[in-house]
Amino acid sequence: MCILKFMIIIKLARKNLEHMSHEPLGRASIADEDDDALPRRISLAERIEALQAAASPRSSYRMHLRTSFSAELTSATRSLDVNAPSGTAAASSAAPPKAATSPANADEGGTAAPGSLPTDASPKGAPEWQWYGRSKWHPYGAEVTTALEEAYQTHATRVPVKIKGASYEIHLASKPWQQRRCSTGAIRNVRRVASGVRTELSMDEKLAEAKEQLGEANWECSVQRRVLRESQWTAERAIAAAEARAATAERQLHELREQVEHQQELLNDAQRRAHEAETSQWREAEAQAMAEANVAAVQEAFEARAAVEAAEAKTRRKKEVTLQQLTREAEERAHRAEAECARLQQQSFELAESIDQAHGRPQSWTRNLFESIAAGAISGASVLSSWLRGDGCAFTAHRLDPSSAEYDAVAGIIRDANAQQAHNLGIGKDVPMGPWRLDLDLHKTGDDGHRRSLQLSAVWSIRNPELWRKFKAEEDIVSHDLHRMPDDSPYRHALPTDLDGLVDGLHLDPPLNHAANEKLLLHGTKPEVLFQILNKGLSDKYSGGIFGDGLYFAETIAKNDQYVRADANKFALKDLHRELYGSDTVDHPAETYYVLLCRVQMGCHVRTQRKLPTATRKRDYENIDRPGTSIWGVHKRELCEVSGQNDGARIHHHALLAETLPLDQGGIISRHREFVQFHKERVYPWMLLAYHRVLDGKLLRSG
């Protein structure tokens, strides 16, 4: 755009310079009277404007013209001021008027010429009639001059004439004389020059002529500016149109490219489909050929396989018959062995009582030893029976009848929790996020408006001879350590729990051994590890808490409910479902959770409820019975030693009891007591409880 504007300006400047180079020569003929066709002299102001548009700011020619014109105008003005008479203003008012503003009237709108006649003689020797236009006087033709001279001599006031076919009317009634064009009404000034007199303008006329030339130059400059602006607008419109056409062409080119790309994609897709069809046909032909070639071999292979399967089935039936017969015989021998063991056990109990009486030992010490030996024999028979069944399961689970007394006694655990611990359900940092969880902050300030409760689903009695044998062997050690305590020792006293009332309803066989301070406690677990626990027992290495690795128990199910997880996948845990429900897949009516009712040997337990004031280790807690001392021994895996035994031997505490104490008083547990056992052989899972969660009277379901 800038280049186009510059080219237009250069072109117009060049045209003005060419126009300035043509100087008019003398007078114009009467045939050139038309305004647009008359040649005229270019004024100094017009030259300056043209040079300003065409030349550079440093043009010497432009500066020369401007300086010359300024000097001439200044000189004329000074002469007028010095030589003009007092009537200069009147003479100046009689000067020719400024030309009309339109190009058509540029040589027809002047004012009257001065009244004084020139003093120089005319070279022609006769009067001459002249008209004023284009800043100077021009002579009439011979015919018009004759008509005007006759009218002047006869004192006529109106003279009609024709010039170049146009009609004019010259008025001689009053000065100045005027010529009016009939078609347009344009007016010129007219004068008569006497013969023998040369025409010479006065200083006022020169000044008026110079001012008129300056006005004409300004008008021409404005015309050139207007033409330049119109040229610029035309060029801008042309450029905008060209840019629009270029954008349209570019858009069309882009569309054509997209069409070409689309056609190329269609072509590639067609080629790909053709290649796939060709490949598919080749594969089908190859497969058909292979099938036809191998049909005989396949038929022979099927026949051979059928023969092998028939032979294998025959062999398998023989093995099954033999195995069933051996299994029946082994079971019969196992039953006979168990009966014999029971008979021998009864005899050993009687012998144990006589031995204890003879040596002054506790009444159950020798009997417990014999029970362990007998349990080992029974365990061996049970393991043999399990191996013969081929299920690899070392425990048996017997589901209790909901109408039995034992089931009702276990249901009392759920009833007590709903009646006394409902406000503690769903509380704890270990409760997963969900509708069942109640934030501890809400528990402190008030519940969240939901009613929570538990519903018992099923109860199983667990029998694992191997775990029972280990449990009884450890029970002898713990009871022997307690027997060494003085009679007035606090460790000889029974440990009361909230589950003591459950013992009478369960009819435990054998009953709890108070000599080892044996208690029934609850342990919550996950269904993924439940089968392993029932098969191999609890592990004290994979259970952690505030007191480190160990087995944690509670006396209320509201505490265990924090750590349990739902058995929600009916297609997983096939071994567990087969042993508990008799089927690999179980469709639970709602989320099912499991809690173990365990027999735990608490023995000589140590108690704590706050951290040691002088603690140097992370889990240093104070012994309640010996204030200022830690509950731990030299190693954290062992509890501190028991003081006050009869024989002076060094005995470590068997278990830990964490008592409750408000947190603002320095307590570490504020809601439920915790029982911790650090030896897994001192724990035996006696029963398994399955229950559902109930929120606002509705069972919580999976998903």
Q: What single string gives the DSSP state of each residue in 184-239?
A: T--EEEEEEE-TTB-----HHHHHHHHHHHHHHHHHHHHHHHHHHHHHHHHHHHHH
- Residue range(s) of every CATH 3.90.228.10 domain in the chain: 394-699
**Per-residue pLDDT band at 75 (split at 50, 70, 90):** low
Contacts 24+ apart (CB under 8 A), 97-103: 98/211, 98/212, 98/215, 99/135, 99/212, 99/215, 99/216, 100/186, 101/219, 103/35, 103/36, 103/223
Q: Is the pLDDT of residue 135 over 50?
A: yes
Q: Are 640 and 691 in contact (CB under 8 A)?
A: no
Q: Is the pLDDT of residue 244 over 50?
A: yes
pLDDT at 208: 79
Among 675, 400, 392, smallest CA distance to 536 is for: 392
- For the chain, the maximum distance between any two Cα atoms, rounded to a whole number of angstroms, is 193
Helix axes 203-359, 2-20, angle to 10 degrees: 170
pLDDT digits (tens, 9 = 90+) for 348-373: 777 767 776 665 555 555 555 555 55
Q: Is the pLDDT of residue 240 over 50?
A: yes
pLDDT at 361: 52
What value does the mean pLDDT take over residues 664-683?
89
In this structure, whether the domain defined by 394-699 belongs to CATH 1.20.140.10 is answered with: no
Three-state SS at 461: strand
Q: Are 603 and 519 in contact (CB under 8 A)?
A: no
Among 180, 94, 189, smallest CA distance to 134 is for: 189
- Residue range(s) of every CATH 3.30.720.50 domain in the chain: 2-41+84-200
Q: What percent of the chain has pLDDT over 70?
A: 71
Three-state SS at 530: helix
Most confident of 53-67, 199-213, 254-268, 425-439: 254-268
**Per-residue pLDDT band at 116 (split at 50, 70, 90):** very low
pLDDT at 196: 46
pLDDT digits (tens, 9 = 90+) for 277-314: 888 888 888 888 877 777 777 778 778 888 888 888 88
Distance CA 316, CA 548 (A): 53
Chain-wide mean pLDDT for the chain? 75
**Is pTM, for the whole model, over 0.95?**
no
Q: Which fold has domain 2-41+84-200?
A: 3.30.720
Q: Is the pLDDT of residue 681 over 90?
A: yes
**Per-residue pLDDT band at 7 (split at 50, 70, 90):** low
pLDDT digits (tens, 9 = 90+) for 142-189: 888 988 888 888 888 888 998 888 899 998 877 788 999 998 888 989
Q: Are 529 and 496 in contact (CB under 8 A)?
A: no
